[in-house]
Amino acid sequence: MDIDTEELRASLTPREENEAIKSYQNTVSVACPACGEPFDDLVVCKQNPTSLDLSKRLDLCVGVDDDKAYIFTHS
């Protein structure tokens, strides 16, 4: 999968950042690169391995770019 992460980061609203992850909210309905549906949030994993503490049950699409995992959430 080819993810244009530069364009994604320019379009999305940064929400949360810690040592392990950085998250962005998709306020402008950017299409998910994996499935083509607009996603809710993008979580970029900065550490490998990383554990995600998800509070909700979500459908996820995952891609990798530049050795980082990009997780697209769909509620």
| Binding footprint of Zn ion, residue count (CB under 5 A) | 5
Contact 59, 74 (CB under 8 A): yes
- Pick the closer one to Zn ion by CB: 36 or 49: 36
Residue with tokens 């940064």: 14
Residue with tokens 């962005």: 24
SS3 20: coil
Among 35, 54, 62, 64, which residue interacts with Zn ion (rule: CB under 5 A)? 35
- Interactions with Zn ion, residue window 40-59 (CB under 5 A): none
**Where on the chain is the footprint of Zn ion (CB under 5 A)?**
32, 34-35, 61, 72
